[in-house]
A and B are shown apart, each in its own frame.
Chain A
Amino acid sequence: AQKVTQAQTEISVVEKEDVTLDCVYETRDTTYYLFWYKQPPSGELVFLIRRNSFDEQNEISGRYSWNFQKSTSSFNFTITASQVVDSAVYFCALSASRGDTGRRALTFGSGTRLQVQP
């Protein structure tokens, strides 16, 4: 079975603060993919990043960075110098190829609501 845990239900920061969103996952598959999605108030899930289980390099994209640590089954997401527009619910998700269907459907965590105050 696959499971994604986002222990932080809600985080509130003041603009320009750095914030880290935690994600811990469980899977028995040796090949899997990890994702982060952003869900603004409009409701549409916006893809942010995908990592595969064989690539533990950290990644930075502008103010966003991701720390993947296979040893602790964690895939944390840091926003540097947060802005009000970063306010949203952020979801971590896991996907693994399953049998012949290879469905790669996503297993989501329960999300972390980030509020950035001006």
Chain B
Amino acid sequence: DTGVSQDPRHKITKRGQNVTFRCDPISEHNRLYWYRQTLGQGPEFLTYFQNEAQLEKSRLLSDRFSAERPKGSFSTLEIQRTEQGDSAMYLCASSLSRGPTEAFFGQGTRLTVV
């Protein structure tokens, strides 16, 4: 296993279009997180899964955003009716749930909405 994998790495879309990102976590990790990072800022928490259950969503996650993790493996993050303010790096991370373990991050998907 080579780590957390995200696809695509880059996405340019027109305002109003829908986009979907995929994250494949480290295989034995049952916790999966999505973060958003804008230029010059640290990552901000969006949502969290433990196995297939979405346990928490940030207030940053508007109704246009939806995340799924079917079967507790890979996860998808969909943004509907994209806006220019959605332009950011979307980071996925995974970790074990036993004890306080560090999260391992993917390389992110950079979204540009034009």
B-binding segment of A66-74, A78-86, A105-113: A105-113
A13 CB to closest chain B CB (Å) equals 20
Contact A50 B43 (CB under 8 A): no
Among B61-93, those with CB < 8 Å from A are 89, 91, 93
Q: If the complex has contacts A33-B100, A110-B40, are A105 and B45 also in contact, measured as CB distance less than 8 A?
A: yes
Q: If the complex has contacts A44-B107, A95-B100, are A107 and B45 also in contact, measured as CB distance less than 8 A?
A: yes
B108's nearest neighbour on chain A, judged by CB, is: A43
Contact B106 A108 (CB under 8 A): no
Residues of B close to A106: CB separation below 8 A: 33, 35, 43, 45, 93, 103
Residues of A close to B33: CB separation below 8 A: 105-106
Q: A104 an interface residue at 8 Å Cβ cutoff? A: yes
Contact B105 A108 (CB under 8 A): no
Bound complex: CA A56 to CA B41 (Å): 28
Interface centre among B41, B50, B95, B103 (most CB of A within 10 A): B103
B33 CB to closest chain A CB (Å) equals 6
Q: A52 an interface residue at 8 Å Cβ cutoff? A: yes
Q: If the complex has contacts A52-B100, A103-B56, A105-B56, are A44 and B42 also in contact, measured as CB distance less than 8 A?
A: no
Contact A44 B45 (CB under 8 A): no
Q: B21 an interface residue at 8 Å Cβ cutoff? A: no
Contact B102 A47 (CB under 8 A): yes
Chain B residues at the A interface, C-beta cutoff of 8 Å? 31, 33, 35, 40-45, 48, 50, 55-56, 89, 91, 93, 95, 97, 100-108, 110
Q: Taking A35-B102, A103-B31 as given, write out 11 further A-B residue pairs in contact, using a Cβ cutoff of 8 Å, ordered by the A residue number.
A: A4-B42, A45-B91, A45-B105, A50-B101, A101-B48, A103-B55, A103-B56, A104-B100, A106-B33, A108-B44, A111-B41
